[in-house]
Amino acid sequence: MIKRLLSMTTAVFMILTLAVGCSQDTGAVKNPTENIKEITLGDSWGFKDGFHAIFTPERISNYQPAYYLGNFYETLVNYQEGTIVPGLAESWRVSEDGRVYTFTLKKGVKFSDGADFNAAVVKKNLEMLPNLLGGHKGSFEQISAFFKESKVIDEHIVEVHLTSPYYGALQDFAKLVPMAMMSPNAFNEDGTLSDKLLTQSMGTGPYMSEGQSGGNIYTFVRNPNYWGEKPYVDKFNVKVIPDHEAKALALRNGEIDMIFGADKISYDGFKELSEDGKYGAKISDENVKTRFLGFNLEKEPFNDKQVRLAVSHAIDKQSICDNLFYGIETKADTFLSRSLPYCDIAIEPYEYNVEKAKQRLETSGWTDSDGDGIREKAGKKLEGEILYMTGSSADDDFVLTLASSLKEIGMDIKVTVLDMMAWYSETKDGSFTMVYKGTYGIPFDPYVTISNMNSDPLIDNILAQGFAHVKDGNSIIKGLKGLVDESEIQDQYDFILKEIHNNASFVPISYTKELVVFNAEKITDYRFNGQPLNVDIAGIELK
């Protein structure tokens, strides 16, 4: 009997020992989701247009998803603090004539769908690009317009040949839109984009799409094939919450963990959350874009330089920055920030001076003859309209403030907000008198902004209007692209930027920063990457 009890005790002990051993094993009996590090972001837009990097008005309903592409895709080179650094290419060289770029690629890199990354894939991506962009070729970069051919030298070396040298070529190669490298399986046999991209991301970045898990939630997980250092976050969700105040409330009640982007949260909301110890709040160091007013120089009354100069003097930029933007944005004295390449030039800013603005209008014959507060000339009212695009919570109050400032000097200005497609349509065909917009931002500035001042072909009518008064203006912009001597490039920038300033072609208002606010009880820090507009999940550090 005792022997039987001892045997039973021994057996029980062995079973318990095995059970404990199993529980200390590599997770065999654990819940596989137990230690998943997961966060949720609130955003105004989802990914209903898919996960490709070819953003044209025909393919997308909003540009905002582009700012997530860096989590799924990578480019041959990266842009960091004004410098080009390695990306999927570990090194490169440029021919003396500036027409051939030879890239040596990283080895052992795979796409999230398992396909190999190599020189043949780079060749395919580049050769498909011009047709995929169609009439928007060169809108975001010039490589597609200058592309001649690409040659596979060996499995990990590719040559890119251009029809002409282009001084901003390396900057172009760093742009996720449209230069992100996509899997060869992202293309159909005829070179069109595969429908797979509607639900899948097919890149080499740290994350990949898991598909839409709900009507307004998109889920992304680590790319098992990612070649680089694993980020802190294993999985992230993007919850679509269009209303900005609702996003802030969702952060407060724990429904989401982070809001990224100055156009996703009001400045009031950002300030309030940043003063609450439960939340972390960060502002990018770099100026990201320039807010500005553009004019239709072919339409009255803004075909009159004195009227444009009056507008320049009538807007209290410092007050707008201090009061509407809580000191986060800084006053813009130049059209492009002096911190950008080639843009640190000597220009005398137009001071805020209401009396000087009125004097300019008086000099040009605009007077208030009937005492209604609105000036007239030759029987016509001094009036206009500011068009702006829906999307940013700060824009409504900002544009109304501009209209109020112009009314003070006798201008009757109405404001009209349009969705993206209507805004593009109105501005492209010249159906505007004034437009509020921002420059393209890093890494597109200054190259794309300056390039699109060319009206042949017409890509951005607002920018093209600003340089239309210059004799042979298109030739000057086109000629700049092909320069290789740095001093000659700088001379052209000096001329262009001084010319648009002296002509008051645009009224720069402020330089924007990027914002992020997050649950500090869950997230320790967020680091902006070299392109601050991009949401960088790898820049998140968790507790």
> pLDDT tens, 324-363?
999 999 999 999 999 999 999 999 999 999 999 999 999 9
pLDDT band of 132, cuts 50, 70, 90:
very high
Pairwise CA distance, residues 498 & 500, whole Å = 6
Mean pLDDT, to the nearest integer, of 285-298?
Answer: 94
**Two tokens at 59?**
């393919």
Question: How open is the CA angle 422-424-426, to the nearest 5 degrees?
Answer: 65
Q: Is 479 helix (H, G, I), strand (E, B) or coil?
A: helix
Mean pLDDT, to the nearest integer, of 365-389?
Answer: 94
Tell me: the pLDDT tens digits for 162-221? 999 999 999 999 999 999 999 999 999 999 999 999 999 999 999 999 876 567 899 999
SS3 percent helix, strand, coil of the chain, rounded to 5, is 30, 25, 45
Q: Do domains 73-186 and 205-285+514-542 have the same CATH topology?
A: yes
DSSP letter (8 states) at residue 193: B
Q: Is 100 helix (H, G, I), strand (E, B) or coil?
A: strand
Long-range residue pairs from 90-94, CB within 8 A, at least 24 positions apart, any chain: 92/170, 94/169, 94/170
**Is residue 384 within 8 Å of 413, Cβ to Cβ?**
yes
Domain boundaries defined on the chain: 73-186, 205-285+514-542, 290-511
DSSP letter (8 states) at residue 329: S
The alpha carbon torsion through 417, 423, 426, 430 (nearest 10 deg) reads 100
- Does 3.40.50.1820 match the CATH number of domain 290-511? no
Tell me which of 299-308, 352-361, 393-402 is least confident.
393-402
Q: Is 296 helix (H, G, I), strand (E, B) or coil?
A: coil
Tally the residues of the chain. 543
Burial class (CB in 10 A: 0-12, 13-18, 19+), 204: buried
519 phi and psi, to 5 degrees?
-70, 105
**H or E element, residue 268:** helix 267-274
136: pLDDT strictly greater than 90: no
Pairwise CA distance, residues 55 & 244, whole Å = 25
CATH number for the domain formed by residue range(s) 73-186: 3.40.190.10
**Is residue 12 within 8 Å of 211, Cβ to Cβ?**
no
What is the fold, at CATH topology level, of the domain defined by 205-285+514-542?
Answer: D-Maltodextrin-Binding Protein; domain 2 (3.40.190)
